[in-house]
Amino acid sequence: MIGNLYRDGKLYTQGILTVKDHDFPSYAEGKIVPHGLYDIYRNKGYITLGTSGDTSEFACESVHNWWITHGKIEYPNSTRLLILCDGGGSNSSRYYLFKEDLQKLADELKIEIRIAHYPPYTSKYNPIEHRLFPHITRSWKGVIFKTIDVVNNLIEQTTTSKGLTVVSTILNKTFETGRKYSIDFKENMKIKFDDFLPTWNYVAVPTKL
From the first residue on, what is the mean pLDDT of each consecutive set of 10 residues in the chain (209 residues)? 83 80 81 95 97 94 97 95 93 94 96 96 94 94 91 96 97 93 92 96 89
SS3 24: coil
Number of separate domains in the chain:
1
Query: Tell me, what's the pLDDT at 68?
Result: 97
In order of 81, 94, 121, 122, the CA distances from 199 in angstroms are: 19, 8, 15, 15
Instruction: Identify the domain containing residue 94 by its residue range.
Output: 25-176+183-204
Query: Tell me, what's the pLDDT at 185?
Result: 93
Rounded Cα gap, residues 209 and 206, in angstroms: 7
φ, ψ at 195 (rounded to 5°): -70, -30
Query: Tell me, what's the pLDDT at 37?
Result: 97
Q: Is residue 172 part of a domain?
A: yes
Q: Is residue 68 part of a domain?
A: yes
Query: Tell me, what's the pLDDT at 6?
Result: 82
Q: Is residue 20 part of a domain?
A: no
SS3 149: helix
Helices 56-66 + 96-109 axis angle, to 10 = 20
SS3 25: helix
Q: Is residue 142 part of a domain?
A: yes
Q: Is residue 7 part of a domain?
A: no
Q: Is residue 12 part of a domain?
A: no
Alpha helices in the chain (DSSP H): 56-66, 72-74, 96-109, 127-131, 133-139, 148-156, 185-188
Q: Is residue 46 part of a domain?
A: yes
